Each structure stands twice: as C-alpha cells, then as structure tokens.
Chain A
Amino acid sequence: MSEPAPGGPADRFLLRAAAGLAALGAAAVAAIFVLVLAAVIVRYLFAAPFRFTEELGGLLLSATVFLTLPFTIAAHRNIRVTILSDRLGPPARRLVWVAGQGVLIAFAAIFAWEAWKITEFTLLLNLKTDVSRVPLAPFMIALTVSVALAGLIGAWQALRPPPGQDTE
C-alpha cells in the first residue's frame, strides 16, 4: 500500500497533482466534521439550525471522493481482485495488467464524458442547490476533472510494469 516511488518528471507531476487534490479531499473531511459539529451546537445552544448543513455536507462528501480519487489511483490504494493475475508469469501478468488498466481508462473516459455534459448544462443554467443556493458548477467541474485525471494516471500506469514488478 506504499506510494509509488517517483520516476521521471511526468510521474512526479501526476503524483504531486494527485497528492495536492487529496490534501483538498482531506480538508473536505475536516470541513464535514466542523460543519456537522457546528450544526449540532447551534441547534442545541441557539435553537437555530443551519439551513445549509445537509446540502453543503452532501457536496463536501462528493468533493472528498472525487478530489482524492486521482491519489488513490496513483498510489495503487484501490481495491482490485488480483487472485488470478498474481498467479501468472511476468509476461502474462503484464498483459492482464494492461487490460485491467484499459477497464479503468474506459470507465473514466465514459464517466468524465457524461459528467462533462452535465457540467456544461449546470454552467449554462448556473444551477444551485435548492435551499442554500450553493453553486453546483465548481463541484461538477471537480468531479469531471478528477475522474479525467484518474483515467490519465491509469493510462500512464499502463505503460509501466504492474505494482510489484517495478524492478523488472
């Protein structure tokens, strides 16, 4: 579960970009904690609950996932079923690794493309949340960019040996 050792400039750039976004993801977790705790406090002490807790909490939740996604891909933290590939010899394992990364790239490409269409629509109508009027566009952009970056990192990793075969 260790982070991959940075190789060339492209590796370092991708890992740093992903780590920077993950730091924002961690900040989003901290923001969820502060928001929910503050909501409890004002509800009990001042009998005046925030109107925006649920909507903002939900948006911060999705921001956490999408901002941290590229890092989990770059650092090989995601869950994979490797029971089959672990038993293959190096050439076959490399082939299966590329196929697996192909699955990730295809999923990210379709997801980012469909998300971009929703983002365009959100920007066009300047959509906001129902109650607290928080603009949705920044969150949709974060979603689209993060998934696209995750796909890009997946493509870059496909050119490298699978984890555990780095010394090949």
Chain B
Amino acid sequence: MIWASLFTLLGATVFTGAVLGAALGLTGFAILYFYADGATQLGVQAVWNVLNEFTLTAIPLFILLGEILVASGLATRVYKALSPAFARVRGGLLHTNIAVCGLFGAVSGSSLSVAAAVGSVAYPELTRRGYDKRAVLGSLAGGGTLGLLIPPSLSLLIFGALTETSIGQLFLAGVFPGLMMAALFMAYIWWSAYRRPERIPPSTDRLPLGQTLRALFSIWPIVVLIAAVLGSLFAGLATPTESAAVGVAAAIVLGFAMGDLTIAGLARAFHATAVTFTVIGVVFMGAVVLAQSISILQLPQKLLEEITALGISAYVMLLVVVLVYLVLGLFFDGLSMMIMTLPIVFPLLTGLGFEAVWVGVMVTLMIEVGMLTPPVGMNLFVLVGITRQEASLSDAAEGALPYWILLLVGLSLITLFPVLTTGLPRLAGL
C-alpha cells in the first residue's frame, strides 16, 4: 500500500512538469502526514540540518572553480598546447578533446562545466577543420562525463555527504575508473578513425617532436591547479572543502594573470554558482523530505528483507538497479536521479554486500550515462547550445551513442573487477 501511494504520488506530481524538488518534497510531506502521524515538520528540520552541513560547502566551491575556468578562457590555452601532441595519432584532435576534458575533470567537479569549457573551444575549431560534427559532439559529450568521475567530483561529493562515506576514499576510488574511461574513449576514437577515415581530415599541424614537447609545457597553469586541488587533498593537507577553496584562489590568480578573467566575469561566476547550486539544492530539499519519510517508515530495510527472503542474488539486484537508472535517465538529469534514489539504493546495495565506495562510483557512472541519454541528457543540451543550434539534439545523441555504450562497458568492468575502484583507497590506507 505504501509503495503504491509512493509511486502514484511521485508519478502524479513529477509528470505535471512541476519543479522536481517540489514534486519530491510534496510526496514526502504527504507520506509523513498520512503514514507518520502528521510529522511534516521532521521533513523541514531534515532539510535545515542537511543544508547546514559544512561538508556540502565543497559543492558550490567546485562549481565556482568550473565557472571561473570557463570565464577565464584557460581552456583555449590548454587545448592549443595539447593539440600537436595528438596530431600524429589516428583520430587526431578528437583525442585532444578527451585529454583536455580529463585534465579539466581533475580540477572541476562538474560534467557540464567541462563540456562547456572544452566544447566552446573545440567545436568551432574542429568543425572549421572539417571534422564530422557528430564525431566532435560525441567526443565532447563523452569527454565531459570524465568531469564527474575523475576527482574532484560533484556526484561523489554529494554521494559522500548523503551516505556519510569518506569523500577522500570516494575521490581515490574514482581515479582508475576515470582513467580507464578516458582510455576506452580514446581506443574507440582510434578504431572509429580507422574504420571511417572520411570523418576525420588529415592533420595539418604536425610539429617536430621538440616543438610538440615545448608546446606541452604551456599547460602548466592547469597542472598548478591540479596540484592545488588534488595535491592538497591527497597529501592530507586540506579537506575537500579547503582544497576547493585553494583551487578557486589559484584559478582566480591564474585567470587574471594569464586568462581573460575580469572583475565582472568573476561576479558573474559567483552569481552563476549561486544559481547552479540552488538548482541542485532545490532537488536536495525535496529529496531530503522524501528520504526522511522513507527512512521513518524503514522502507529500504523492508525492501532488503523481502529481497533476501526471495533469494535474489546481489548481481541480479544490481542489474535491476542499473535498468532502473537507465529508465530514470530518460526522464531525470543525473544528479537529481542520484539524490532521489540514494535513500533506497544505497542501503539496498551495501546491504547486499557491495562496498560503499564501489556503489559511489557505480552510481556516478550511471549519472554519466544519464548525462548522455536524450531527451534530458544535460551534456547534449549544453553542447547543442554551444553549436548555436548548428547541430540538433539528435546529432549530439547519435555522436554520443558509442560513449553511452562504453560507459556501460566501464560499469561491467568495475563490476567484474571491483579492485579497479576499491584498490586505490585500500592502498592509500584510507
């Protein structure tokens, strides 16, 4: 009865096109009112407690870091520096897209920021050179997802804060899968260029090796940022929040000294951060009220008991969770999907024996899949916006399809070899 009420209310409110946080929250309030003796105030108190959680301050700071990177135009400099290095490789500048996205992913925690920062530089340049626009958009959409997996990562931060899992451990757990995905994306680009060479024009900017190496040296600003953010974090010198603040300070200095950052641009970055964080925060508000109602009624525990009684294996259950995420990815953006499902999925999967950090990386991979799933794949929207409607959503979706499949391949690999995610945190002794 309670499950029927939950899904009916959720469906009825969400599919009216209401603000998602309000739909989730109203469902939570209704459940608290009708099934928990009118305890609606508990929902508001839970929201107040969660939104006052200091750990979460890392989220707006990492969003701010991404906004400053976009505003400062550092992406152009890094892109130009890395381009000659990939001119000799089959697939050419499509590899550069992945490499620059990976580098930006190591300073920004947001998939959208990475796709926007790199896409705004790469799309006009590559289409001007005659690259197939679908191939370009696909590599940028796929590369953008690395922003969420390679630490620092917004999704791993939110996951850690909501499930009380160590954020340091989660960040370390994301390193190998992030690098693995980048390698899989590059391998696909190489293979695709081999099969359909007409989609990629011959390289015109092959430089001698010495010049290529000298050009590479000019990516040092981004290396400084990576050292400031990840170095301070993994060396144990700073918490995730502090490393984000140090990264923001470094990005501001570099942006003013070497990029195009202005005072007005910085003010816009603060405003855009407040808006982006609030958009996430509103989903948080609703999801926390809903989670409070679900938790008071002990629904995850009851579900786990029923699954245990039915004798369903952990991997079959994982497959069901993955399928649910694939379906949800058609309707919800990635982070919303994670925030609203964690109250059930996390206790369910950890109860079945999956490690918490592994679940964090798995959910992040599913969010990335959602970022590439039309009609609400946010990376696709951002990239179509960058092309100034020169490309359609279906162009972007078609280009991103191989990367969508590769993300699922990546998920299969970390399921077959969990050590890919759990190995580094264990090695670091966290």
Contact = CB atoms under 8 A, between A and B. Distances in A.
Contact of B376 (A27, A53, A83, A162): A83
Contact of B60 (A23, A29, A100, A117): A29
A91 B23 CA distance: 22
Interface in A19-58: 22-23, 25-30, 32-33, 36-37, 39-40, 53-55, 57-58
A23 B25 CA distance: 26
A133 interface: no
Interface string B269-287: 0110111011101111110
Interface string B318-359: 000000000000111100100000000000000000000000
Nearest to B330: A83
Contacts of A40: 238, 242, 245-246
Interface residues of A, number: 62
A104 B51 CA distance: 20
B100 to A, nearest CB: 25
A101 B18 contact: yes
Given A23-B271, A36-B245, A110-B29, A103 B18 contact: yes
B258 interface: no
A81 B242 contact: no
Interface string A105-146: 011101100110110000000000000000000001001000
B270 A114 contact: no
A117 B274 CA distance: 27
Interface stretch (B37-45, B111-119, B200-208): B37-45
Given A78-B20, A78-B282, A83-B375, A65 B15 contact: no
Provide the main secondary structure of the chain B interface. Answer: helix
A57 B58 CA distance: 10
A73 B115 CA distance: 25
B193 to A, nearest CB: 35
- Max count, chain B CB within 10 A of own CB: residue among A33, A81, A154: A81
Q: Which of B53, B54, B242 is most buried by chain A, counting CB atoms within 10 A of its CB?
A: B54
A117 B271 contact: no
A54 B54 contact: yes
A156 B374 CA distance: 31
A35 B307 CA distance: 47
A5 interface: no
Given A33-B248, A59-B52, A61-B52, A72 B331 contact: no
A65 B17 contact: no
A107 B22 contact: yes
A6 B88 CA distance: 54
A115 B242 CA distance: 31
A36 B53 CA distance: 14
B16 interface: yes
A17 interface: no
B40 A110 contact: yes
Contacts of A100: 16-19
A162 B62 CA distance: 33
B315 interface: no
Contact of B64 (A29, A53, A55, A83): A29
B20 A37 contact: no
B48 A143 contact: yes
Contact of A26 (B29, B44, B273): B273
A61 B17 CA distance: 27
B267 interface: yes
B56 to A, nearest CB: 6
A130 B251 CA distance: 34
B93 interface: no
A162 B241 CA distance: 39
A79 interface: yes
A31 B429 CA distance: 34
Contact of B20 (A58, A62, A79): A79
B249 interface: yes
B22 A32 contact: no
B60 A61 contact: yes
A79 B19 contact: yes
A96 B19 contact: no
Contacts of A72: 275, 278-279, 282
B189 interface: no
Nearest to A78: B19
Contacts of A60: 57
Nearest to A1: B385
A69 B278 contact: yes
Contacts of B282: 65, 69, 72, 78-79
Given A33-B245, A85-B17, 17 more contacts: A22-B275, A36-B244, A58-B57, A61-B54, A61-B57, A65-B284, A68-B277, A71-B278, A79-B282, A80-B20, A81-B14, A81-B23, A84-B15, A101-B18, A103-B22, A111-B25, A162-B17
22 contacts: A25-B275, A26-B267, A33-B248, A37-B248, A40-B245, A62-B48, A65-B277, A69-B281, A71-B278, A75-B275, A78-B20, A78-B21, A79-B21, A83-B15, A84-B15, A107-B23, A110-B29, A111-B44, A115-B44, A115-B48, A118-B41, A118-B48
Closest 7 CB pairs of A and B: A65-B281, A103-B18, A100-B18, A58-B52, A100-B16, A36-B245, A68-B278
Interface of B: 13-23, 25-26, 29, 40-41, 43-45, 47-48, 51-54, 56-57, 60-61, 64, 238, 241-242, 244-246, 248-249, 267, 270-271, 273-275, 277-279, 281-286, 330-333, 336, 375-376
